[in-house]
Amino acid sequence: MHIAVIVPTYNEKENLRPLVEQLLALPIEIQVIVVDDNSPDGTGAIADELAANNSHVRVIHRPGKLGLGTAYIAGFKAALSMGADRILTMDADFSHNPRYVPHLVTKSREADLVIGSRYVRGGDTRYCTLPRKALSWGANTFAKTVLWLQAMDCTAGFRCYRREVLESIDLDTIFSNGYSFLIEMLYRVQRRGWRVAEVPIIFENRRRGASKISRQEIMRAMYTVVRLGIERLSGSAPTPVASRQR
């Protein structure tokens, strides 16, 4: 099985090298795809150096900070064209510990999208401030209520998609870009009837580098949920194809 792990980066110079080293040391063979948005701190050069020394690392350079959603899409397209069967996404800041990657991949035998989840039994968060926990809880509750999302952790970026799932979604029509991209993807996956499962993870707040979540991102995420909620009520969403393709 060909496994690709997409790591979007923006100013992650302290984190990227140890993260990639830990990913490549896992007992399963993976291809790492770094998507760097011309990070001012030189993360892109570190990624190039890692790629030069290991054929299991590939780098996509984009000219500037174009947002998390399009970074994932660029990574998805590269992974699909490389023939990946499982496509994972994770943050570069060690909030998503690489040791969980094999758990997500194993669970993907019985599910089409697997989420590394803080909010199922055995999952938790560490070193997160109260405002950060409240933000996550509020975003999850709002998205779940409006969109009837079945997962417990709808905003998690630690995921494993089966290739067919990404192939079934027209990635170029995904409207949201920043963090709300995760909510929109989950919504589209669920609407298409794919099986979604969660495995518990301990989410650790980043220790190095800075968060990129801004007030504007939060407003955009709320807008995405409302927009998709209107789409859901108006019945204009695509009909499920999953049962045919599985």
Ligand X SMILES: Nc1nc2c(ncn2[C@@H]2O[C@H](COP(=O)(O)OP(=O)(O)OP(=O)(O)O)[C@@H](O)[C@H]2O)c(=O)[nH]1
What is the C-alpha to C-alpha distance for residues 216 and 235, in angstroms, rounded to an integer? 29
| Residue window 187-206: x/- pattern of binding to Mg ion, with contact defined by CB under 5 A | -------------------x
- Neighbouring C-beta atoms of residue 183, cutoff 10 Å: 24
Residue with smaller CB distance to Mg ion, 12 or 112: 12
What is the distance between the alpha carbons of residues 216 and 166, in angstroms, rounded to a whole number? 28
Candidates 30-38, 49-57, 116-124, 141-149: pick the segment binding ligand X (CB under 6 A): 30-38
Quick one: which of 212, 241, 242, 245 contacts ligand X (CB under 6 A)?
212
- Tell me: does residue 12 bind ligand X (CB under 6 A): yes
Contact of residue 67 among Mg ion, ligand X, none (CB under 5-8 Å per partner type): ligand X
Is residue 175 a contact partner of residue 215, using CB atoms and an 8 Å limit? Answer: no
Q: How far is the CB of 37 from ligand X (least distance, A)?
A: 4
Q: Which does 125 bind (CB under 5 to 8 A by kind): ligand X, Mg ion, none?
A: none
65 touches ligand X by CB under 6 A: yes
Output the smallest distance, CB 193 to ligand X, in A. 28
Stretch that binds Mg ion, among 88-96, 195-203, 215-223, 224-232 (CB under 5 A): 88-96
Binding flag, residue 116, ligand X (CB under 6 A): no
User: Does residue 156 belong to the site contacting ligand X (CB under 6 A)?
Assistant: no
One of 24, 80, 152, 213 touching ligand X (CB under 6 A): 213
Binding site for Mg ion (CB under 5 A): 91, 93, 95, 206
Binding site for ligand X (CB under 6 A): 8-10, 12, 35-37, 65, 67-68, 71, 91-93, 95, 179, 205-206, 211-213
